[in-house]
């Protein structure tokens, strides 16, 4: 549906110097005028810093100007510290304060007034916020064969206006070794750390490097002169056994009615293997296995609840193999007994 708006102009009569004149305008109305309605911060802020912008305006009309409301999005707070009603020729101020995490920001505040020509005025501020020190929180080492040593570069950037010092570091496991070429990172400078991971066990892994950093003064956004940075190294060492699916859900299991499921086991390495058997505590499992060594096995399982059990049943299937690296595979399994 389309709406059309019309403005009706009425000629009025007024007296100027004793002479009757038609068409003159005696309406009084406010007129809000901002010096600017947008601002781009040239400086880069640190997370936690106080970021504010002041927007000044003037009532250029001939009637009182009322600031009726100010609405802003989630990233900023807008307030009017001056009077909410501004007389003709008077001035007012609106403050916008930014509260955001690291990254670029573009925030708006909407000013609602009784100005008939400009009832809503958008104010916009934008800029960039960075952490005190930029670093990768997670590094993916990818997939490699067991026994390899894999190296990655960790890049740190000091975004402060003062130097910082790496006072200490720890690793979660001695399979992760790091080389730190220098302890001090000057203001605005970068430092590259070499991390070498020795892949000793097959399967998924997650190791951590923790850096302890100290600044000469309190770091913006904190109450401390120190930072603790934790970097996670994740990946996978090939040569193990992958189970598909990784979890089994058996659904509703009436008493004495077995459930059939298919489970695939395959190696992501070069070793062939045999399945020796499957056991569980709350379930009875039957499966045909073969002593033939293969790189992949499709297991057709027949599973029933052990005894009379009702409600949610949770257990683990323990699968024994003769794989040189993976002797046992555990598969979580759930069902509902009736």
Q: How far is CA 136 from CA 78, 85, 194, 274, in A?
A: 33, 50, 13, 41
The pLDDT score that the predictor gives to residue 111 is 92
Verify that 148 and 123 share a domain, yes or no: no
Cα angle 221, 227, 230 (rounded to 5 degrees) comes to 120
Picking from 109, 130, 151, the residue at the C-terminal end of a domain is: 130
Instruction: Tell me how many domains the chain contains.
Output: 3
Measured CA distances, 208 to 140, 196, 211, 236, 266 (Å): 12, 12, 10, 15, 29
Say if residue 62 is in the same domain as residue 93: yes
How far is the C-alpha of 231 from the C-alpha of 207, rounded, in Å? 8
220/132 Cα distance (integer angstroms):
8
Q: Can you give the pLDDT at residue 1? A: 33
Domain that holds residue 118: 27-130
> For residue 7, is it within any domain?
no
The contacts of residue 171 (CB under 8 Å, 6+ apart) are 177, 178, 207, 208, 209, 210
10 domain-assigned: no
Q: Which of 87, 111, 130 is the last residue of a domain?
A: 130
Per-residue pLDDT, 74: 65
CA distance 245 to 165: 48
Domain shared by 163 and 98, yes or no? no
- The answer to whether residues 180 and 97 belong to one domain is no
Q: What pLDDT is attached to residue 26? A: 54
- What pLDDT is stored for residue 12 in this prediction? 33
3-state SS record for the chain = CCCCCCCCCCCCEEEECCEEEECCCCCCCCCEEECCCEEECCCCEECCCCEEEEEEEEECCCCCEEEEEEEECCCEEEECCCCCEECCCCEEEEEEEECCCCEEEEEEEEEEECCCCCCEEEEEEEEEEECCEECCCEEEEEEEECCCEEEEEEEEEECCCCCEEEEEEEECCCCEEEECCCCEECCCCEEEEEEEEECCCCEEEEEEEEEEEECCCCCCCCCCCEEEEEEEEEEEEECCEEEECCCEEEEEECCCCCEEEEEEEEECCCCCECEEEEECCCEEEECCCCCCCECEEEEEEEEEECCCCCEEEEEEEEEEECCCCCCEEEEEEEEEEC
Comparing CA positions, the residue from 177, 164, 161, 180 lying closest to residue 227 is 164
Q: Is residue 12 part of a domain?
A: no
Asked, for residue 94, whether it belongs to a domain, the answer is yes
Please give the Cα distance from 320 to 270 (Å, whole number).
19
Of 193, 192, 194, 186, the closest CA to residue 159 belongs to 186
Looking up tokens 């100290």 gives 214
Domain boundary among 104, 130, 156: 130
pLDDT at position 5 = 30
pLDDT at 127: 93
Residue 202 lies in a domain: yes
Q: What is the CATH number of the domain that holds 182?
A: 2.60.40.10
Q: What integer pLDDT is reported at residue 75 of this predicted model? A: 65
Residue 272: inside a domain, yes or no?
yes
Query: Are residue 269 and residue 326 in the same domain, yes or no?
Result: yes
- Give the pLDDT of residue 99: 84
Phi, psi (rounded to 5 degrees) for 259 = -115, 140
Residues contacting 91, CB < 8 A, separation 6+:
56, 57, 58, 59, 82
Print pLDDT tens along the chain (338 aa).
Answer: 332 332 322 233 333 344 444 444 558 899 999 999 999 999 889 988 889 999 999 999 999 999 999 888 766 677 776 777 899 999 999 999 888 888 999 999 999 999 999 999 999 999 999 999 999 999 998 888 888 899 999 999 999 999 999 999 999 998 999 999 888 999 999 999 999 999 888 888 899 999 999 999 988 878 889 999 999 999 988 888 889 999 999 888 887 788 899 999 998 878 899 999 999 888 889 888 878 898 899 999 998 887 757 788 899 999 999 988 889 999 999 988 87
């Amino acid at each position: 549906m389309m709406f059309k708006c019309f403005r009706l102009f009425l000629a009025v009569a007024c007296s100027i110097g004793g002479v009757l004149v038609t068409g003159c305008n005696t309406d009084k109305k406010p007129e809000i005028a901002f010096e600017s309605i947008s601002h781009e911060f040239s400086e880069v802020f640190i997370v936690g810093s106080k970021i504010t912008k002041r927007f000044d305006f003037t009532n250029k009309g001939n009637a009182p100007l009322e600031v009726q409301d100010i609405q802003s999005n989630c990233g900023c707070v807008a307030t009017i510290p001056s009077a909410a009603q501004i007389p003709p020729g008077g001035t007012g101020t609106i403050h916008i304060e930014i509260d955001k995490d690291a990254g670029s920001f573009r925030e708006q505040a909407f000013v609602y007034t009784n100005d008939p020509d400009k009832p809503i005025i958008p104010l916009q501020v934008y800029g960039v916020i960075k952490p005190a020190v930029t670093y990768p929180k997670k590094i993916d080492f990818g997939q490699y064969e067991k026994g390899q040593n894999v190296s990655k570069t960790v890049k740190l950037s000091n975004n402060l206006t003062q130097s910082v010092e790496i006072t200490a570091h720890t690793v979660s496991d001695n399979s992760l070794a790091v080389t730190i070429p220098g302890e001090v990172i000057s203001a605005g400078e970068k430092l590259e750390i070499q991390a070498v991971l020795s892949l000793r066990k097959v399967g998924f892994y997650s190791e951590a490097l923790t850096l302890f950093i100290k600044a000469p003064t309190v770091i913006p956004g904190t109450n401390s002169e120190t930072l603790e940075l934790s970097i996670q190294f994740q990946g996978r060492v090939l040569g193990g056994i992958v189970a598909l699916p990784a979890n089994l859900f058996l659904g509703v299991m009436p008493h004495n009615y077995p459930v059939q499921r298919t489970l695939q086991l395959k190696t992501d390495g070069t070793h062939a293997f045999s399945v020796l058997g499957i056991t569980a505590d709350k379930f009875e499992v039957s499966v045909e296995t073969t002593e033939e060594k293969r790189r992949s096995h499709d297991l057709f399982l027949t599973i029933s609840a052990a005894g009379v059990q009702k409600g949610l049943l949770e257990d683990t299937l323990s699968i024994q193999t003769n794989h040189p690296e993976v002797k046992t595979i555990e598969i979580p399994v759930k069902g509902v007994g009736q």
